[in-house]
Structure 1
Amino acid sequence: MPADTHHARITPTGNDGRCLDTAQMEKLEQSFLSWADAPLRSDTRRSRERILAIFLLIRNTGARLNEVLSLKPSDIDFKNHMVQLCKGGAKRSGPCREVEISEALSSELDKILNGPEKKSAPRGIFQVDPGHVRRKFYERAEAVGIPRELGTPDAIRRSRAVELLQNNMPIPVVQKILGHGTPNLVASYVEFSNDEMKQVARYFVDKETSRKTSARNAFFGKISRIRKGDIQSVIEILSVAGHTVVAVITNDSLSRLGLRPGAMIIAEVKAPWVTVYKSDKEPNSTAQNSFRGIVQRITRGKVASEVVVRVADGLELCSIITEESRQRIDIRENDEVWVGFNAFSVVLHVD
């Protein structure tokens, strides 16, 4: 797939000065948490906790301010860790969507909204003056040295979008979470149901919470075809972002995993198995999986170097090659390259 073929972009994935990076977002979150926990009077604490809840929802879901202010307590599913967001403000004249949240955030919101006694939160708990909310956002940003224009609800929403993209979440899933219209997505996107998109989003939310795994070199999609042989089977996967990935597994694994066409699956490949080719044309190789992209960054070492390539739709593939090979091929940042890997090196995971 050519490097210049991609879906409609939401926002640049780099920090262009209009967004907060993850460290700044976490710093701002700590500012809100400390501020909400400081007052001794219960009514003051309750008022601040409402602002904290609004911030946490925007920071973690990328919701619009008017979507959060129109929320009812029943829109938050604390058991299944979901929030229903609707466009159109209090009138809810626009479409609604369900957004995955982490178990930790669900628990925090439950504590804020329902209190230790677990009494039902009042229906209009989020009905706060938007101007008041913005002023408090400005104050919390400036308190930790962040320019007020980067502490607005819109800036935090943009920052969340960038954060998700930098975490390698497929663009169609980010668009779904943020409630963006997607009239020009490739046909592969419409083949994925809302439940399947939620499944991908849930993986990222859980990964982000644990911070123990990386989503690089991971393709999220559904099985489009299975070709079964005597000993091994060829699995073809259509990813959410429109990529086709080929994997070869044993028939025993096929049976054990219960794989079938249409099933959702995660395909991963380890960085040492990803090869980088510097070529204008797709290279002649035994790799069944080849993608064209742009070198985003290179981490150089004395023996080995890490090369991160962004292919179409923002997906990042990481390759680890010897530094000697990198110098010999003359791979540099912003180079157009091909990355490839063998079908036998793909590891499949079912949720």
Structure 2
Amino acid sequence: MDSKRKNDPGRAVPRTALPGGIHQGRIVASPDEDQCLDAVQLGRLEQSFRDWLEASPRADVRLSRRRILIIFLLIRYTGAKLNEVLALNPFEDIDFDRKSVLFRTWGADPDPGSRPVYLSGNLSREIQTALADPAFRSSLGNRFDIDPAFVRRKFYERAQACGFPKRLGGPEMIRKARAVELMQGNMPLPAVQMMLGHSTPNLTSSYVSFSEDEILRLMKLFMERESARKTSARNAFFGKVQDIQRGDIQTRVCLTTIGGYRVTTVITNHSAEHLGLKKGQLISAEVKAPWVTLQSGEAEPLSSAENRFNGVIVGMTGGEVNTEYLIRISDGTELCALVSTQSSRRLSLETGDRVWALFNCFAVVLHVD
């Protein structure tokens, strides 16, 4: 792909017809990383909203920013339209027991229409916790009702803060990026159509036949699976293949995580072929705790380890032989390191200390979902 084409985020992409006469372009153009944000970039944008929320020392400003964050999260993970989210009554339209949100749509038909969209357990809990805060609850009234122009302006600001073209951070483009993400994750087209609120989702075709209830169950399972895969599990990174360098026997693979970190691994050529790795592919990387070494100090250490992450010790479990450390880096990913208790005494590390977690490229295992 030449550089001119790659750097033009606004270029048109032809629509792609699907089997059985379904036209995928009815929802979005065929998935293209240059036309909307990919999963890793969406993760960076989400982190930008979270950092922005915490950056203000004023409680009233943080309450206002939390409302914007929740609006973003609902659009980002449900694919809803901005006006649908702003019209929500979060105290009535979000069912935390069922982990679902009910979007009500009003069209030319005088009767209101509505559709349920499932939330992951993590997102449901985050919104429920926010709504349980008396100060936040009071600031909301009954709705997320905010001037749409103001919301768009904040979305554009966060996109530009990440170095993205501002239009790619608009609510409509986030909705589009979500649709692309779902299809790339192999969610069936009718489920994507139903989730996004298209009036006539094609529930039967030459290659798929689902009832509406089955589509809803599939949607729920997909959301939970996606959340489990993307949740910052210990010693696990979710990201996008950035570079592949093939050697005579082994292949070096570099991925960029949702938090913007770079993870390098070396695997056999056979493994690379078996996994079907290619640039831009979404994968997860895992490292075992005994392979993670620790070094104290603020400055980045000189080390042969390709993977170096600075974080804060958030937990320690000591034993006669080994001591386990839990380190949280800035994007929320937690790394578990297992060192000898003798080495632990020498390091004199405590909970709250900043520390470097290091591991080499041969310690990383790749997984393709």
TM-score scaled by structure 1? 0.56
Which amino acid counterpart does residue 167 of structure 1 have in structure 2? G
Q: Contact between 1:114 and 1:120, CA under 8 Å: does it hold in 2?
A: no
Report SS of the residue matched to 1:127: coil
Cα deviation for residue 212 of structure 1 reads 8.2
Q: Percentage identity across aligned positions?
A: 47
CA contact (8 A) 1:8 1:184 kept: no
- Asked whether the equivalents of residues 101 and 205 of structure 1 are also in contact (C-alpha less than 8 Å), the reply is yes
Q: Are the equivalent residues in 2 in contact too, given 1:83–1:99 (CA < 8 A)? A: yes
Matched, 1:59 2:76: yes
1:15 corresponding residue in structure 2:
32
Aligned counterparts of 2:152 and 2:56: Cα–Cα separation in 1:
20
Between the aligned partners of 2:274 and 2:171, the Cα distance in structure 1 is: 36
Aligned partner of 2:229 in structure 1 is: 211
User: Does the CA-based 8 Å contact 2:75-2:85 persist in structure 1?
Assistant: yes
Distance in structure 2 (CA, Å) of the matches to 1:109 and 1:118:
11
1:108 is the counterpart of 2:129: no
Equivalence map 1:123-272=2 (5 Å) = 123-182=141-200, 186=204, 192-211=210-229
Q: For each residue in 1:212-250, what CA deviation from the matched residue of structure 2 results, as whole angstroms up to 9, or x when unmatched? A: 89xxxxxxxxxxxxxxxxxxxxxxxxxxxxxxxxxxxxx
Letter in 1 for 2:41: Q
- The number of equivalent residue pairs is 221
User: What SS is found at the alignment partner of 2:98?
Assistant: coil
- Unmatched tracts of structure 1, length 5 or more: 214-299, 309-351
Provide the rounded CA distance (Å) in 2 between the counterparts of 1:85 and 1:303.
45
On the 8 A contact 1:13/1:166 being kept in 2, the answer is no
d(CA) in 2 for partners of 1:3, 1:97: 25
1:35 aligns with 2:52: yes
Distance change (3 Å), C-alpha of 1:152 and 1:72: same
Q: 1:171: Cα distance to partner?
A: 0.5
Counterpart amino acid of residue 209 in structure 1: S
Task: Give per-residue Cα distances to partners, 1:154-209, cap 9 Å, x unaligned.
Answer: 00000000000010000000111001133655368996443321110111111111
Question: CA 1:18 to 1:87, structure 2 compared with 1: closer, same or farther past 3 Å?
Answer: farther
- Structure 2: how far apart are the matches of 1:102 and 1:146? 27
Task: Name the structure 2 match of 1:276.
Answer: none
Map 1:325-344 onto structure 2 (within 5 A).
Answer: none
Q: What residue ranges of structure 2 are gaps of 5+ in the alignment?
A: 1-16, 232-267, 277-369
Give the drift of 1:14.
2.4
CA contact (8 A) 2:204 2:210 kept: no
Instruction: Assess, with a 3 A threshold, how the Cα gap between structure 1 residues 121 and 158 changes in structure 2: closer, same or farther.
Output: same
Deviation at 1:124, TM superposition (A): 3.3
The question of whether the paired residues in 1 share the 8 Å contact of 2:87 and 2:143 is answered with: no
- Contact 2:49 2:69 (C-alpha < 8 Å) held by counterparts: yes
Higher relative contact order (CA 8 A, sep 6+): 1
- Corresponding residue SS for 2:181: helix
CA contact (8 A) 1:114 1:121 kept: no
Q: After the TM superposition, which residues 283-298 of structure 1 pair with which residues of structure 2 at under 5 Å, given as runs? A: none
Alignment of 1:74-93 (within 5 A): 74-88=92-106
User: What displacement does 1:38 show?
Assistant: 1.9
SS at match of 1:18: coil
Q: Cα distance, 1:66 vs. partner?
A: 0.3
**Structure 2 partner of 1:25:** 42
SS at 2:43's partner residue? helix
RMSD over aligned Cα atoms: 3.3
Give the C-alpha shift of residue 72 in structure 1. Answer: 0.2
Alignment correspondent of 2:61: 44
Structure 1 residue identity aligned to 2:143: I
1:78 CA drift (Å): 1.4
After superposing on structure 2, the runs of 4+ consecutive aligned residues of structure 1 that deviate more than 6 Å are 188-191
Query: What is the CA–CA distance in structure 2 between the aligned matches of 1:119 and 1:306, rounded to whole Å?
Result: 51
Report the equivalent of 1:259.
Answer: none
Structure 2 distance, partners of 1:194, 1:143, is 40
Q: Distance in 2 between matches of 1:305 and 1:182?
A: 41
1:18·1:155 contact (CA, 8 Å) conserved in 2? no
Contact 1:8 1:185 in 2 (8 A): no
Is residue 87–residue 93 contact of structure 1 (8 Å, CA) maintained in 2? no
What displacement does 1:117 show?
A: 7.8
